[in-house]
Copies of this chain bind each other. A is one copy, B any other.
């Protein structure tokens, strides 16, 4: 479990943990059944409050990526095959926000799609991390 948290980043620490774990689960780095570190342990490693890690785990549970099994800890689940429908309203909101931002700057659909393609490419590039 190599995680990094930058307290001065724009995205809050709990969201950074959430995103990194989610990526590792989806990419298979953390296979289903893996036991995540306890919130206190991880909090200690990262030098943050336990509550912050707890929140990240809570959000991950809402996403259906992990399950907390009481006394035994928190475990990785098999991620459901993703579809636009299942990704839910949160993804739709993100898409709408992006569409508004793009339209607002005068871009048409094709230009907006190109920007997303570029962003995706840039996203895949530095995945040497994790």
Nearest 7 Cβ contacts at the A-B interface: A82-B106, A99-B119, A95-B119, A95-B115, A98-B98, A94-B101, A96-B119
Q: Is A6 an interface residue (CB 8 A)?
A: no
Chain A interface residues toward B at CB < 8 A: 19, 22-23, 26, 63, 79, 81-84, 87, 90-92, 94-109, 111-120, 122-123
Number of copies: 2
Kindly provide the distance from the CB of A67 to the nearest chain B CB, expressed in whole angstroms.
17
Closest-by-CB residue of B relative to A25 is: B106
Q: Which residues of B contact A79 (CB under 8 A)?
A: 106
Return the contact of A22 from the options B82, B95, B104 (Cβ within 8 A).
B104
CB atoms of A106 and B19 under 8 A apart: no
